[in-house]
Amino acid sequence: MPDRLRHVSERWHQVAGGQVRSLRAGRQHPDHPDVVLVPGLGALGYLVDTLAGCGAWARTHLLDVPGFGHRAARTCPAEVGAVADAVCRWVEEVVGAPVVLVGHSTGAQAALHVAAARPELVRSLVLLGPTFPPEQRAAKGLLRAYVRNSRREPAGLWPATVPDYLRGGPGEIARFIRSAQQDEPERIITEVGCPVLLARGEHDAFAPQPWVDRLADAAPDGRSRVVAGAHTFPFRRGGMTAQLIAGAAE
């Protein structure tokens, strides 16, 4: 195991009558709030490097929601709203203080709902590769984006995500995608009062620049960044992604 991942540990918490699994890195710091990472489509592997990077300066948690990362970890239905509810309960009961909430892809959509519904739980919000613009809320537009984006993703991404997708199953993955397509982040973000940082990879077809700019403009306190990579730019760039998050935390 690489040195940066040696101190990542698995945790289970009883939350609202169910077990929620998470991965944790770092220690609680008096000058930094906890960081909570919400993955896209329930796959954790591609964000473990970011977890370790953030753990260097803050206690950081990667939530296994809806529960595809372990055969015993099914936490909630595979839908954006249900994931947001699970995150709300977990932050309230486990951390009990405002956090830096980070979501990637569909996880960004869930994190956005948390910040809008429970502002007392979120100190700052980071949306990485937020999905889906209106043109991708139909199958044809989504397929086009998938084809364009796939050409730019690293080959090593599949081993980091496919095992979780297989545990989730194709039906649940499809259900998750449909719920994300039915969501309206451009409306929800207007209700968020905390600072919001949006970031996308320069080749991210799921989060095109006009869409990210629209969300940043709609947020009462929003700004955006562009970094190298495609949609899953945090994969193998945990240090860079952790720096983005650290800037938002400050």
Q: Virtual CA dihedral for 222, 198, 111, 54, nearest 10 degrees?
A: -120
Q: What stretches of the chain adopt beta strand conformation (E)?
A: 9-15, 18-25, 35-38, 60-63, 99-104, 122-128, 196-201, 222-227
Q: ∠ CA 156-57-216 to the nearest 5 degrees?
A: 70
Q: What is the pLDDT of residue 214?
A: 98
Residue 64 dihedral angles phi and psi, to the nearest 5°: -90, 80
CATH of span 3-249: 3.40.50.1820
Helices (H), 70-156: 80-90, 106-117, 139-150
* Contact yes or no for 97/67 (Cβ under 8 A): no
> What's the CA gap between 133 and 207, in Å, rounded?
7
Token output for 232: 């899953």
Side-chain-facing half-sphere of 140: CA atoms under 13 Å:
1
Q: What is the pLDDT of residue 166?
A: 96
Token output for 241: 């992604």
Using a 10 angstrom Cβ sphere, with 0-12 exposed, 13-18 middle and 19 or more buried, the burial of residue 178 is middle
Find residue 249's DSSP bridge partners: none
Q: What is the pLDDT of residue 6?
A: 62
pLDDT tens by residue, 78-105: 999 999 999 999 999 999 999 999 999 9
Q: What is the pLDDT of residue 1?
A: 38
Q: What is the pLDDT of residue 186?
A: 98
DSSP 93: I
End-to-end CA distance of the chain: 31
Regions of the chain with pLDDT less than 50: 1-3
